[in-house]
Amino acid sequence: MPDPVEISLGPYLLRVAIEFGPRILGFRRQPGPELFAVLGDEVVIDRPDSGVYRFRGGHRLWASPELPPITYAPDDEPCQVIQEEDIVTVEARADRAGLIKRITLRGDEEDVVVDHELGNAGAGPIEVAPWSLSQLALGGVAIVPLWGPPDEHGLSASSSLVSWPYTDLSDPRVTFHRGALTVAAEGGPPFKIGTGPDPGRLGYLLDGYLFTKEVVPAGPGTYADRGAVGQFYVGDSFCELETLGPLVTLQHDDWANHREVWRIERCEDVGAALSRLTTGRR
């Protein structure tokens, strides 16, 4: 199988798959370490209603809500990779669910703007939302902020925490802080937590580098997973920072877009990471 394409984008080095995807297999700030997970072919979802989906690691685009025939449609077909100065576009053919997936990355000084697009190539309408997932190597600490209005005495709820049936809030990997929670990304039982409606930036600190995903607000709308726009998952092989766009009904040839802004920067410890992610927005 051909090696991924290596592409420089500002201070960052990308590794982009061409035989499957769209998938950004590597993302690092030169000369820093690789933060994305690298997974073997044994890490899969295998269901009779969807087929075999190989995780492989890196960053991918799924369709929410999590319905196996749609969400887990395999992405094993070759992709088209187009590079134009500070823009990289990766697009796949329509999958078995009739969805076209496209990821576009634009260099913007210290940041990379990442657009995730779902297109409906099927004959009938489909209700979906772009779902952006970054698989990261174990061994770091995830930071999940809980944003609210500046008035700490406000009388109305400002954010929410969302759990899954297997979420155990007594998990020793989880620590609650003022304005955020952190999760040690150590192998163990599956744990997932979500936050909404406006999570701001999710972070992951590993080997002295902080990876942040800023969610660009899409405005009012209906969101899957009880409004958990930002999500974190950890299991035995990897952890994930995930974000969702609003649910939309796509007619034939319609497209939905969801934008994130990525950055990697040096960061000495968890305290500094918490301060950067909870004291304001860029």
Look up residue 28 and give its two tokens. Answer: 């690092």
- The angle at the Cα of 200, spanning 150 to 211, to the nearest 5 degrees, equals 130
Is residue 156 within 8 Å of 217, Cβ to Cβ? no
CA distance 278 to 200: 9
Segment holding 277, helix H or strand E: helix 270-278
CA distance 244 to 118: 12
pLDDT of residue 105: 98
Domain ranges of the chain: 5-278
pLDDT of residue 54: 95
Under CATH, which architecture does the 5-278 domain have?
Distorted Sandwich (2.70)
pLDDT of residue 247: 97
CA 52, 234, 270, 133 dihedral sign is positive
Segment holding 225, helix H or strand E: helix 224-227
CA distance 33 to 161: 31
Measured torsion, CA atoms of residues 273, 236, 114, 26, in degrees rounded to the nearest 10: 100
Q: pTM of the entire structure?
A: 0.95
For every one of its 282 residues, what pLDDT tens digit does the chain have, with 9 covering 90 and above? 578 999 999 999 999 999 999 999 999 999 999 999 999 988 999 999 999 999 999 999 999 999 999 999 999 999 999 999 899 999 999 999 999 999 999 998 899 999 999 999 999 999 999 999 999 999 999 999 987 656 667 788 888 999 999 999 999 999 999 889 999 999 999 999 999 988 899 999 999 999 999 998 877 899 999 999 999 999 999 999 999 999 999 999 999 999 999 999 999 999 999 999 987 644
Would strands 239-244 and 126-136 be described as parallel, antiparallel, or unpaired? Answer: antiparallel
pLDDT of residue 191: 98
pLDDT of residue 282: 44
- Closest by Cα among 207, 173, 205 to 274: 205
Is residue 81 within 8 Å of 221, Cβ to Cβ? no
Exposed (0-12), middle (13-18) or buried (19+): which is 208, by Cβ within 10 Å? exposed
